[in-house]
Amino acid sequence: MTDRADVIVIGGGIVGTSAAFFLRRRQRSVILLERGLTGQQASGVNFGGVRRQGRALSQLAMSNRALDVWYRAQALLGEDVEFLPSGHTRVCYHAHDAEYFHRYAADARAYGLDLEVLDGAAMFRRLPFLGPEVLAASISPRDGHANPRLAAPAFGRAAARLGASLVENTEIVRVEKEAGGFRVESAAGAVWRAEQLLVCAGAWAGALSAQFGEPVPLVARGPQMAVTEPVPYRFGSSMGVYTSIKEESVYFRQVARGNLVLGGGLSGPADVSTRRASVLPANTVGQLAQFRRFVPALATLNVIRVWSGVEGYLPDAEPVIGPSVTTPGLFYAFGFSGSGFQIGPGVGETLAELLAVGRTEIALDPFSIARFGRMAHHAVPEAGVSASTASEA
Ligand SMILES: Cc1cc2nc3c(=O)[nH]c(=O)nc-3n(C[C@H](O)[C@H](O)[C@H](O)COP(=O)(O)OP(=O)(O)OC[C@H]3O[C@@H](n4cnc5c(N)ncnc54)[C@H](O)[C@@H]3O)c2cc1C
């Protein structure tokens, strides 16, 4: 087994597998180390929203790059990850949110995100199924959704076909800098070495960054998911309610088979040690009440399954992406705070570029881990509370 490479990637979610894939396309040798199986954690159990609209403007350049990868996914990977570029529509119930839709659409245009905002009668003519309380809708025609169960494993397999070494069922417990590069050690005592190290360990990344003197206020929460029985296919666009009242938020998408996958509302608990996230029944009941308010005609649908997943949240709802401040050759990408699935392949491609050529056109300053050094003396708010976008998958 290869125990030395140009780059070691820790974590086989959508970010780590796509980074490994794009690193191989740049001829960097790669070892990807994953504690379980690729795509087994958040990347494999999420809602599947491939949504740019609603993101912080600072994320849009990366998010556009990611969307470009989603559009090319089948050609790049040689596998279908069920990406459907069928649009994303978000709606609101409050006048200040409708005003925000217009403001955001104007601001986002400068970043290459074109949105159409409809109000009142024009909106109900286009979207007659919306509940009577809806005031405005913002439509992003080029966004869409994909199958999370397929995406990260497909990137992993494609990386392996290009020569990456994928090592699953291997937990890394010790990471350190030594002369000429990095040494990483598994719980079973196996050792790998590389010139560069990329930590893409999701909600668990803090245990690794702390070993380089860079602790982060990362907390785990479990977004609540449900899926209904199948009904005739009607909704191409992924749909969501935008609101600053977390209990009001709900979003759904319909898969080709007819089932509606839904999420939103309050999160449930997630435990990084057991790697489990629970669904609280009260949250599902709340979610369904909001689902009926959003599209009353769907009120009679039965839920056939619920689930959650372990997601890492940072207090400002921005991820950490980019170089370490303490350790040359070390890079991070984690803490996607509820919206890393869409942007993941763009992060992977950007990191591959950064590691291979030492720079990227995408501005990474807002995502620097250095901000937590600066925030060290500030109280850390409860996870996700400040994350208005986090409830909008
Ligand atoms: C229920 C749910 C719904 C969501 N919905 C959406 C959505 O619709 N749209 C969207 O954009 N985002 C969504 N998200 C967020 C998105 O899924 C995540 O932000 C994204 O998948 C994070 O990818 P990742 O690769 O950083 O992390 P992960 O997928 O968590 O992967 C990290 C990997 O690192 C491995 N690892 C950790 N520590 C170690 C170690 N020490 N050694 C070896 N391996 C290790 C883990 O086993 C894991 O496989 C949702 C999340 C959840 C949970």
Q: Which residues 6+ apart lie within 8 Å of 113 measured at CB?
A: 52, 53, 60, 63, 64, 140
What is the CATH code for 4-66+148-218+316-385?
A: 3.50.50.60
Length of the chain: 393
CA 230 to centroid of ligand 1, rounded, Å? 27
Closest CA relative to residue 333, chosen from 23, 37, 3, 6: 23
pLDDT band at 373 (very low <50, low <70, confident <90, very high): confident
pLDDT tens across 297-323, in order? 999 999 999 999 999 999 999 999 999
Which among 15, 45, 47, 310 is the best mutation to test ligand 1's pocket, defined by most ligand atoms within 8 Å of the CB? 47
In whole angstroms, what separates CA 336 from the centre of its chain?
A: 6
For residue 40, report the distance from its CA to the centre of ligand 1, in Å: 8
The tens digit of pLDDT for each residue in 68-96 reads 999 999 999 999 999 999 999 999 999 99
pLDDT digits (tens, 9 = 90+) for 130-166: 999 999 999 999 999 999 999 999 999 999 999 999 9
Residue 390 confidence (pLDDT) above 70: no
Rounded CA-CA distance 185/172 in Å is 6
Give the atom of ligand 1 at the shortest distance from the alpha carbon of 48. 8
Distance set, CA 133 to CA 119, 136, 250, 291, 295 (Å): 12, 10, 14, 12, 10
Domain boundaries, the chain: 4-66+148-218+316-385
Across-strand partners of 257? none
Chain centroid to Cα 96, Å, comes to 27
Report the residue among 31, 173, 204, 283 best suited for mutation to probe ligand 1: largest number of ligand atoms under 8 A from its CB: 204
Share of the chain above pLDDT 70, in %: 95
Task: Round to whole Å and give the CA distance between 155 and 248.
Answer: 35
pLDDT value of position 245: 96
d(C-alpha 312, C-alpha 204), whole Å: 8
Q: Which residue intervals of the chain are DSSP H helices?
A: 14-25, 42-45, 60-77, 95-109, 120-126, 148-161, 205-209, 281-294, 340-357, 370-374
DSSP state letter for 287: H
Band the pLDDT of 374: cuts 50, 70, 90.
low
Specify the ligand 1 atom closest to the Cα of 17.
25
In angstroms, the Cα distances linking 47 to 180, 259, 307 are 41, 13, 10
N- to C-terminal Cα separation, the chain: 39
Residue 176 CA to ligand 1 centre (angstroms): 24
Distance from residue 39's CA to the centre of ligand 1 (Å): 8
What is the position in ligand 1's atom list of the atom closest to the CA of 49? 8
What residues flank ligand 1, with Cβ below 6 Å?
A: 10-16, 33-36, 40-43, 45-49, 171-172, 200-204, 223, 225, 263, 308-309, 311, 334, 336, 338-342, 344, 393
For a mutational test of ligand 1's pocket, the pick from 311, 343, 391, 392, i.e. the residue with the most ligand atoms closer than 8 A to its C-beta, is 311
Helix (H) / strand (E) element for 71: namely helix 60-77
Tokens (6 digits) for 203: 């909600």
Q: What is the rounded average pLDDT for all residues in the chain?
A: 95
pLDDT digits (tens, 9 = 90+) for 172-189: 999 999 999 999 999 999
| Per-residue pLDDT, 375 | 56
Q: What is the pLDDT of residue 378?
A: 43
The pLDDT of 280-293, averaged and rounded, is 97
Residues near 61 by Cβ (< 8 Å), separated by ≥ 6? Answer: 111, 361, 362, 363
Find all residues with CB under 8 Å of 307, minimum gap 6, and list them.
Answer: 45, 225, 279
The structure tokens listed for 180 are: 């000429």
Written as six digits, the tokens of 239 are 């749909």
